[in-house]
Amino acid sequence: MDGKRIAKNTFFLSIRMLVTMGISLYTSRIVLEILGVTDFGIYNVVAGIVVVLGFLSGTLSTSSSRFITVALGSNDFREMRQTFSSILFVNLLLSLAVLLIGETIGLWFLFHKMQIPAERLDIAFWVYQISLATTVINIISVPYNAVIIAHEKMKAFAYMSLFDVGTKLLLVILLRYTERFDKLLLYAVSIFIVQLLDRVIYGYYCSKNFKESHFSRDFTKAQVVKIFGFITWSAYGSLVSVGFTQGLNILLNIFFGPVVNAARGISVQVQNAIVQFTTNFQTAINPQIIKSYVSNDLNNTRSLMTTSSKLSFFLLCIIGAPIIIEANFVLTIWLKNVPGYTVHFVQLMIVISIWSSLANPLRIINQAHGDIKKFQLYECSLLLSIVPIAYFTLKATNVAESVFVVHFMVEFIAQFIRIKIVLPKIKMSFKDYFTEVYLRVIPVFILPIAIGFFASYHFAALPVRPLLILILTEVITFLLIYYIGINKQERAFLTDKIGSKINVLRKK
């Protein structure tokens, strides 16, 4: 395991995340103030339809990273160029397919199934069209982003993210001073402009730094067919993932209207900001998991998998636990006026995110293996049940939060299916996985939150309660990680590193 490279890439991605998270959360607050709750909800649900149509973007990103990383391992420039060109060709074809579906089925759904105020329907149509164009650009950009990840050049993402969020913030601030045009429409246009600029800059960077990232007709039909075969089952997984995510959004719209969509949109913003902590680390370690598995170094693969699982989980606990406990305080400070349902939505979505972080390392190993049919069929068929179960739950209870409880319960079961399919591929027993992962992460999740809620209840009248809760939960979390979360070897390694840093500081 190349710990230095993982640490370096994680550092750049973390700096990127901290800056982008702060700016993005502030930008969301401004957008909510400028657009208002109804228009903010309309944007989230309309853009959500496009996300469903653009589910292939996630599929292509995963597939592209897998094939390009494997090609890099061959050190064959021609194979690398052919792989990139094949993937870009596939992206172009599928972007046309998304455009066709979006202009037919998507439009029908927008006009006939969504609850949108009549006076905002025309604007919603144009927001939909602009969001669809943004999705097409995202799909075409996938191969270039995948090349950067495969080469583990995460510094480029850090710089680009600063440009991305900075430009979005600037354009959103300008919205405040715009009175002549509809602000919801201008916001959608702003997102499109930023995405288009990102696409141009990423393309230029890749063409200058990676010779294989130039489109060439020197690719074979066999390569395209192989990629399509991989994408077919990956697409099923991405369709299910986006389908149940946006399906829940649509259910909330049907049962409760755009105001609840606004609450969910805010909770998604918080969730995405927190999940970035693990996404950074996983983005840095995923290429090494793939390369390790492809080279048949199963000992290193198992080590990378358990490390990725635990550290991803711990990072989310460190950030998420205080927010779960003090969600109302955090949201009030951030938004001032917090839409109904938002507090409970945020708490439940963070819990789901923490548990779901264990799934990614297993998925990466399965993708590295290449035969993904069984994994996708079992996992996705189960996840697909979230929407119908949530529908009947809403019919029975009319409680908006119930959809997230259903999501968590199904995700909990799905994790055991992933384990059963993937562990034999790396010759790891369930007992070893349970001992090394579950028995170490569960206490780190449950105890700080339980103690934090207990303390929050008893110290409710104290003005400094949020600060006390933050300190208490973080101290407990770090102690649990050190004494329970990591094994003896990891603890010895960490202690040695900390000791060496202290000695260096003493000498200075």
- Average pLDDT over all residues of the chain: 81
Least-confidence region, from 21-35, 43-57, 342-356, 462-476: 43-57
Number of domains in the chain: 2
326 and 250: one domain?
yes
d(Cα 293, Cα 248) in Å, to the nearest integer?
A: 36
Please report whether residue 263 resides in a domain: yes
- The length of the chain, given as a count of residues: 508
Task: Identify whether 9 is part of a domain.
Answer: yes
Q: Decide if 367 contacts 346 (C-beta within 8 A).
A: no
Question: In this predicted model, what pLDDT tens digit does every residue of 197-249 receive, in sequence order?
Answer: 888 888 888 888 887 777 777 777 777 777 777 777 777 777 777 778 778 88
In this structure, the answer to whether residues 15 and 156 fall within a common structural domain is yes
Helix (H, G, I), strand (E, B) or coil at 115: coil
Residue 144 lies in a domain: yes
Structural contact between residues 465 and 459, judged by C-beta atoms closer than 8 angstroms: yes
Rounded Cα distance between 408 and 403, Å, is 9
Asked, for residue 131, whether it belongs to a domain, the answer is yes
Classify residue 346: in a domain, yes or no. yes
Give percent above pLDDT 70 in the chain. 86
Closest to 398 measured CA to CA, from 264, 249, 255:
255
pLDDT value, residue 224? 79
Residue 51 pLDDT: 60
**Residues of the domain holding 473:** 431-503
The whole-angstrom separation of Cα 119 and Cα 98 is 28
394 shares its domain with 499: no
pLDDT in the model for residue 313 = 92
Q: Same domain, yes or no, for 441 and 423?
A: no
3-state secondary structure string across 221-251:
HHHHHHHHHHHHHHHHHHHHHHHHHHHHHHH
Cβ neighbours around 401 below 10 Å, total = 13
**Model confidence at 8, in pLDDT bands (50, 70, 90)?**
low
Q: Are residues 443 and 366 in the same domain?
A: no
- pLDDT (average), residues 143-152: 77
Residue 283 shares a structural domain with residue 368: yes
Band of pLDDT at residue 452, cut at 50, 70 and 90: very high
Is residue 150 included in any domain, yes or no?
yes
Q: Are 158 and 182 in a shared domain?
A: yes
Residues 437 and 321 in one domain: no
| Last-in-domain residue among 370, 400, 428 | 428
pLDDT at 9: 58
CA 58 to chain CA centroid, nearest Å: 10
Q: Are residues 259 and 285 in the same domain?
A: yes
Terminal CA-CA length for the chain: 31
Question: What's the gap between Cα 450 and its chain centre?
Answer: 26
Residues 478 and 498 in one domain: yes
| Residue given tokens 């179960």 in the structure block | 389
Task: Give the end of a domain, one of 396, 428, 460.
Answer: 428
Distance CA 199, CA 140 (A): 8
Is residue 490 over pLDDT 80?
no
Q: What angle do CA 408, 358, 91 make, to 5 degrees?
A: 95
Q: Give a yes or no: residue 508 inside a domain.
A: no
Minimum mean pLDDT range among 58-67, 132-141, 324-333: 58-67
Whether the Cβ atoms of residue 169 and residue 20 lie closer than 8 Å to each other: no
Do 235 and 325 share a domain, yes or no?
yes
* Residue 370 pLDDT greater than 70, yes or no: yes
Report the alpha-carbon distance of residue 113 to residue 45 in Å, rounded. 12
pTM of the model: 0.69
> Of 428, 445, 461, at which residue does a domain stop?
428
Phi and psi of 76, rounded to 5°? -105, 110
3-class DSSP state of 217 = coil
Phi and psi of 34, rounded to 5°? Answer: -75, -45
Q: What is the dihedral of CA 382, 384, 387, 388, to 10 degrees?
A: -70
Q: What is the distance between the alpha carbons of residues 236 and 162, in angstroms, rounded to a whole number? A: 33
How sure is the predictor about 108, in pLDDT bands with cuts at 50, 70 and 90? Answer: confident
pLDDT at 13 over 70: no
455 and 385 share one domain = no
Q: Angle at CA 268, nearest 5°, toward 267 and 271? A: 90
